[in-house]
Structure formats: structure tokens, C-alpha cells
Homo-oligomer: A and B are copies of this chain.
Amino acid sequence: MLDFTLEDLSAEDVERLRDIYRPLTESVRELIDATIRTAADADTVAAAKAQIDAATAALRANQLDGPFGVRFTAHGDRMPWGNAVIGLRNPIAPPLQVQHEPDGGVFADFTLGAAYEGPPGHVHGGVAALILDHVLGESASPAASPRLTGTISMRYLRPTPLGALHVEAAIVRTEGVKTYAAGVISDAEGPTVQAEGVFIRPKWARD
């Protein structure tokens, strides 16, 4: 069983925490990009490293024992802030802001930079898989009832360039505890990667 955490926080508390931690995370995302792309000399790099280590030590003086987890409030606010794809406190997340459409489909417009590179100038095929897994899973999961990936298949039509991208997904059909979903990543020229998957309602989340 997965250990979701219920937090005793008001909507205002959640907003206050968001305002404290989101700017930090955005700064670390910028630093990640700068770390990959810098051509600074050894002394500049060493000085930057010392500043970073000092910031890390200050942040670690008071920290959670483990990973962030997935937190909920009594008011129903969901805080998947550590999530590797959508987490507002996770600097490795682009982050995706997944939008839900009235017909049940989901989509996100997002930009991938140097941190997501595989082939030169292009998105790592596995990063495309990471994003599709998340977005198909979200399309298959009603808000209060998560689904976990059972199987997922990706089909790469052509290399996906770094830059502005779009992803969308929708449920194809549901059979008992299994929900079938499909989706696609596109650039301005059209689709680059297609995916289809089966998402399972975990035993502990069944009626």
C-alpha cells in the first residue's frame, strides 16, 4: 500500500507554502540549465560550487527524513509537489501543468531545454516516455482514485526537438480495474511520439 499523507493545512497555508518554495525551485531549474551550458573557468566554477554548497547546507538544516511523498489536505488540496513530472518543488520536473478538458481529455504545453537532451539538440527518448507515462496516467485517473501504469508502449515517429512541445492524452476504454489510454507528443510540425497504456486501479483503492 502506498502511503499518501494527510496534512492539517488550510487553503491559505497551502498558498503560503507554494509562495515560499516555488521561486526556490524555479531558481534551481535555472541553475541546472546553467550547470550544463556553462563554459566558465575553474575558479568561477569553484566559487559557484561553494555558494551552492552553502545554500544546500542551509536548506538541509531543517528537512524531511525522506522524499516529499504525495500530500492531501482535509479540504481536498492535492500536493504532489515532489513529483518528477509535475512537482512544483521538484527542480527536475519541467514542470508540466496538466489541463483537464470537459470531455475527459488532458493536455499540457511545455518547453524542454538542455536538461532533457538525448541525441544532440533533441529530447531524450526516455524523457518523452516519462512525460507520456505521466500524462496518460493522469488521463486515466479520476481525481480521488489514482491508477498505476500496468503496461505502456511508445512509438517514436521521428526525433523530438528540444523547445516548445505539446502533449495530450485521453481514455480509450475502461474494463473493470483496467483503463486504456492513448496520447501523443507533438511539436509545431506535428506528432513525434505516440503512446498507449493500460492503467490499473490498485487493490487498496478498489471499492
Contact = CB atoms under 8 A, between A and B. Distances in A.
Contacts of A121: 2-3, 66-67, 69
Contacts of A3: 120-121
B114 A137 contact: no
A55 interface: yes
A10 interface: no
Interface residues of A, number: 89
B5 A120 contact: yes
A52 to B, nearest CB: 5
B119 A146 contact: yes
A129 B135 CA distance: 14
A21 to B, nearest CB: 7
Interface of A: 2-5, 20-21, 23-25, 27-28, 30-32, 34-42, 44-45, 47-49, 51-56, 58-64, 66-70, 81-85, 87, 89-92, 113-122, 124-127, 129-134, 137, 146, 148-156, 159, 162
7 contacts: A31-B91, A37-B67, A51-B55, A124-B130, A125-B152, A150-B155, A151-B155
